[in-house]
Chain A
Amino acid sequence: MTVTEKEVSRQILQLSGANANLCIRCGRCTAACPVAGQMDQKPHRFASLLLHGQADTLLRSNSIWLCLSCMACSERCPRGVDPARLVEGVRQYAVRPRGMAHFSPDQVPDVVDDEMPQQALMAALRKYRK
């Protein structure tokens, strides 16, 4: 089975739970982000790249690992897009194929390895908190 980039983008949008259609490309997220300077894909690009079916650019970016999950972008976004969730969605998608898709918080100690970025862990915890 082949999955197109467009389909992946759609899945990420769904997984994120954020509504990227609300984005008006104002750039307040990128303006607020403490690590945007180092990111190769700035926070404001997540909404439009995902909507345009360009998930691969984001999946291969350093941004998803640099993101601090500090939510500054979501806090400032005037449209309630919640861009941090979009970043998280992409991160989740990057993490899942590594075989870490299904774990519960009590398994956390087992699955943590030094290679795994902390953000991925935070993202996973948030996702499986319920």
Chain B
Amino acid sequence: MPKIGVFVCHCGSNIAGTVDVEKVAAAARTIPGVVVACDYRYMCSEAGQETITKAIREYGLDGVVVCSCSPRMHEATFRRAAEREGLNPYMVEIANIREQCSWIHKNREEATEKAIVLMRAAVAKVKRDTPLTAGRSGVTRRALVIGGGIAGLSTALDVANAGYEVDIVEKEPTIGGKMAQLDKTFPTLDCSACILTPKMVEAAQNENINLYTYSEVEKVSGYVGNFTVTIRKKARFVREDRCTGCGACMEKCPSRKAKNEFNCGLNTRSAIYIPFAQAIPNVAVIDAQHCLKLQTGKCGVCEKVCAAGAIDYTQQDELIQREYGAIVAATGFQPIRPYQFGEYGYGRYPDVITSLELERLMNAAGPTDGELRCPSDGRKPKNIVFIQCVGSRGQTCRDKSYCSKICCMYTAKHAMLIRDHWPDMDVHVFYIDVRTPGKNFDEFYRRAAEEYQVDYRKGQVGKIYEEDGHLMVQGSDLLEDRQVLMPADLVVLAVAVEPSPDARKLATMLTASMDNNDFFTEAHPKLRPVESPTAGIFLSGMCQGPKDIPETVSQAGAAAAKVIGLLSKKELTANPCTAHPEEVRCNGCGECEKVCPYGAISYEEKELRVMGRREKRRVAVVNTALCQGCGACTVACPSGVMDLQGFSNRQILAEVDAICR
């Protein structure tokens, strides 16, 4: 019979406050095979670990059960301790008597009873544990960053500067993301392009960085350290190696009715275009939908005017396959289009705009050359009303449940910039709360109210309507306890942000998890904020949740540090708790392959010896490098031959038996 030791942790009063730990240890001593059982204040402390290693030495233990917190907390700690003493680390089992017992129960007697049951189950399991050895795999020393906004660029630069190769895949024709569209940036009001462009140039010139613009990730396979990714490089119909970005084609192109995305559709652009002056790469792209040549076969003006001979109407999408050790999601966000708020009339009244549209209307390179004008008739606005939290912090189907975090600050920025440039304009802001935590942030917002006399109103807007050709805003002022009505020339909606619409598709390819709002989830909200729960996938920027630029850049740096840590490893140890079929009984039915979320199962024709006879049969084969040990196949297998190492069917049933005894 194997010799088992049981160690019960008090976790201060976390466990001992509700569970009679001595009683749990005493109960353990009565189980056949348990040769030592004791309790201690903090098992994870150095002295606590010493108790375990000493017992392994003195009693020659074959298995260890620690009754403590969740295995997510300290399983690794106790396994390392066992390994130091020469015991196979997979001969250590954790009975979670904290999260699953003491923290959720109040009655001491019942909690103690449950702790004993959990301990008994763990002892039953450890008796059937077998020593396991973790496999090893190499690491491809190259990272993939998906998304070329400020988040992706910052991560890529940090990783590249540490000496590793990085590829950036950006779906738009240029890198830069939303930050390229901003005018000035809080809290310092520096010009967005002035601080972003150097980063873009640096990324383009860094010899370790490879840009795939106008490209998308098509397929991802593999596992941490060894991903294989297929990238679709969409046809630009312009040869990147030849185009000099002179812009002659844009001037001559007769199709000029396409909405200019960069200016939020506030003006139009030609079918062949460069998104903006500082675009990288500075290469034109043909928008096939609006190109006369590609749609009707007639035109070809750009080809004629291009001195570099860069136009190629026959260009096709290109598929590129590359290997990576780590993948970073940096797909960012988009502001919502607030059509569902009929009471505000966005889309109906041209002078009701979103904040991002305002950025373009205030930008010197924007559609009005930086002169703030009403989109309806180009007049100079006199009264400007801002509405905060449009679509944020709600509970109805029209809203996002979260706070979009950046709007309070950028609205203060907009209000202040307007009052600074055009002191004759009046600015009113309807707010629910002004949320400005952060270094120098509240001071920034107060400056808008105090120095620039921006009229902040605690209240919301219920309705916007037109009267005699003028917009009227009906709102509430809760501090004055009244309804207010004011005319407005321009209404700016600080709308909610949401993740990039392709994020979910990407998350599925990466098997990375997302929350209900389609933001990528982190492995641990506090302790592992830049890693996805899927090994080898990291998170950077707004794709993980709303953030401003300072926070985005910090997170991007943190993600880079994690990527560098991974790429600098010579080899990785794999989880040995993988699935294995018992080949002789497998009939190759194909059920397991269907349920495996990691594509780890395939089938092979194998020659087997069954009772002395040779037989050729189709059997399941698990690629242990891909297998994450989720156990889906073990449940799906109708013959019960698929088994998970370290969590065998036999072990799980033994646990159930021990619980039901």
Contact = CB atoms under 8 A, between A and B. Distances in A.
A26 B432 contact: yes
Contact of B478 (A30, A33, A80): A30
A121 interface: no
Nearest to A78: B394
A97 B477 CA distance: 34
Interface stretch (B421-429, B454-462, B487-495, B534-542): B454-462
B106 interface: no
B481 A31 contact: no
B222 to A, nearest CB: 44
Q: Which of B458, B477, B481 has the most CB of A within 10 A?
A: B481
B197 interface: no
Interface in A38-94: 42, 44-45, 72, 76-80
Contacts, number: 72
Contacts of A32: 343, 462-463, 474
A98 to B, nearest CB: 29
A37 interface: yes
B393 A28 contact: no
23 contacts: A22-B395, A24-B393, A27-B459, A27-B460, A27-B476, A28-B461, A29-B462, A30-B462, A30-B478, A31-B462, A31-B463, A31-B474, A32-B462, A32-B463, A45-B481, A72-B462, A76-B462, A78-B394, A78-B396, A78-B399, A79-B396, A80-B394, A80-B395
Contacts of B483: 30-31, 33, 36-37, 42
A25 B478 contact: yes
Interface string B357-399: 0000000000000000000000000000000010001111011
A42 B394 contact: no
A72 B478 CA distance: 18
Contact of B476 (A31, A72, A78, A80): A31
B482 interface: yes
B411 to A, nearest CB: 15
List the 5 closest pairs (A to B, CB-CB), nearest first: A32-B462, A31-B462, A78-B394, A27-B476, A30-B476
Nearest to B473: A31
A25 to B, nearest CB: 7
B395 A28 contact: no
Contact of A42 (B393, B474, B482): B482
Interface of A: 22, 24-33, 36-37, 42, 44-45, 72, 76-80
A125 B458 CA distance: 36
Contacts of A72: 462
A31 B393 CA distance: 17
A25 B343 contact: no
A125 B503 CA distance: 48
B442 to A, nearest CB: 20
B398 A78 contact: yes
B459 A30 contact: yes
A77 B459 CA distance: 12
B475 interface: yes
Nearest to A79: B395
A78 B475 CA distance: 15
B399 A31 contact: no
B396 A24 contact: no
Nearest to B484: A31
A22 B399 CA distance: 14
B477 to A, nearest CB: 8
Contacts of B478: 25, 27, 30, 44
A29 B475 CA distance: 9
Contacts of B458: 27
A25 B481 CA distance: 12
B462 A25 contact: no
B551 to A, nearest CB: 24
Given A33-B483, A78-B393, 5 more contacts: A25-B478, A30-B459, A42-B483, A72-B462, A78-B389
A42 B481 contact: yes
A101 B276 CA distance: 69
Nearest to A19: B395
B529 to A, nearest CB: 27
Contacts of B476: 27-31, 36, 42, 44
A44 B432 CA distance: 12
A79 B462 contact: no
A116 to B, nearest CB: 27
A34 to B, nearest CB: 9
Contacts of B462: 28-33, 72, 76
A90 B343 CA distance: 27
B575 to A, nearest CB: 44
Interface in B575-630: none
